Amino acid sequence: MSWFDRLRRGLGKTRDVLSGDVQDAMASRTPDWDELEFALIAADVGASIAADVITDAKAARERGVSIMEALEQALLDQLEPDAMRQKLRRVGFDLDVQRHFVEPAGKVIMVVGVNGVGKTTTIAKLGAYYQRHDKRVMFAAGDTFRAAGSAQLEVWGERLGIPTHAGADGTDPAAVAFDASAARVARGLDLLIVDTAGRLHTQHNLMEELKKVKRVIGKADEGEPGEVWLVLDAVTGQNGLQQARKFHDAVGLTGVIVTKLDGTAKGGILLPIVRELGVPIKFIGVGEQQDDLQPYDAAAFVRALLDVSQPDAA
Q: In angstroms, what is the minimal distance from the CB of 257 to ligand GDP?
A: 9
> Nearer to ligand GDP by C-beta: 25 or 235?
235
Please report, as residue ranges, which positions from 102 to 121 form the binding site for Mg ion (by CB under 5 A): 119-120
Q: Per-residue string for binding with ligand GDP, 185-224, x by CB under 6 A?
A: -------------x--------------------------
> Nearer to Mg ion by C-beta: 60 or 128?
128
Q: In angstroms, what is the minimal distance from the CB of 294 to ligand GDP?
A: 10
Please count the residues of this chain forming the interface with Mg ion, following the rule CB under 5 A.
3
263 binds, among Mg ion, ligand GDP, none (CB under 5 to 8 A by kind): ligand GDP
Residues 6+ apart with CB under 8 A from 243: 113, 114, 232, 236
> Nearer to ligand GDP by C-beta: 37 or 292?
292
Q: In angstroms, what is the minimal distance from the CB of 133 to Mg ion?
A: 24
Nearest CA among 261, 162, 251, 154 for reference residue 210: 251
Q: Per-residue string for binding with Mg ion, 116-145, x by CB under 5 A?
A: ---xx----------------------x--
Please report, as residue ranges, which positions from 188 to 227 form the binding site for Mg ion (by CB under 5 A): none
> Nearer to Mg ion by C-beta: 31 or 142?
142
Question: Residue 104, interface with ligand GDP (CB under 6 A)?
Answer: no
Q: Which residue, judged by CB position, is nearest to ligand GDP in the bound state?
A: 285
Stretch that binds ligand GDP, among 17-25, 34-42, 73-81, 255-263 (CB under 6 A): 255-263
> Nearer to ligand GDP by C-beta: 154 or 288?
288
Tell me the C-alpha distance between 275 and 273, whole Å: 6
> Nearer to ligand GDP by C-beta: 173 or 198?
198
Q: Three-state SS across the chain?
A: CCHHHHHHHHCHHHHHHHHHHHHHHHHCCCCCHHHHHHHHHHCCCCHHHHHHHHHHHHHHHHCCCCHHHHHHHHHHHHHCCCHHHHHHHHCCCCCCCCCCCCCCCCCEEEEECCCCCCHHHHHHHHHHHHHHCCCCEEEEEECCCCCCHHHHHHHHHHHHCCCEEECCCCCCHHHHHHHHHHHHHHHCCCEEEEEECCCCCCCCCHHHHHHHHHHHHHHHCCCCCCEEEEEEEHHHHHHHHHHHHHHHHHHCCCEEEEECHHHCCCHHHHHHHHHHHCCCEEEEECCCCHHHEEECCHHHHHHHHHCCCCCCCC
Question: Residue 118, interface with ligand GDP (CB under 6 A)?
Answer: yes
Of positions 115, 205, 239, 290, contacts ligand GDP by CB under 6 A: 115
Question: Residue 127, interface with ligand GDP (CB under 6 A)?
Answer: no
> Nearer to ligand GDP by C-beta: 159 or 219?
159
Tell me the C-alpha distance between 23 and 309, whole Å: 8
Q: In angstroms, what is the minimal distance from the CB of 124 to ligand GDP?
A: 8
Nearest CA among 8, 19, 13, 18 for reference residue 264: 13
Chain residues in the site for Mg ion (CB under 5 A): 119-120, 143
Chain residues in the site for ligand GDP (CB under 6 A): 113, 115-122, 198, 259-260, 262-263, 285-288, 292
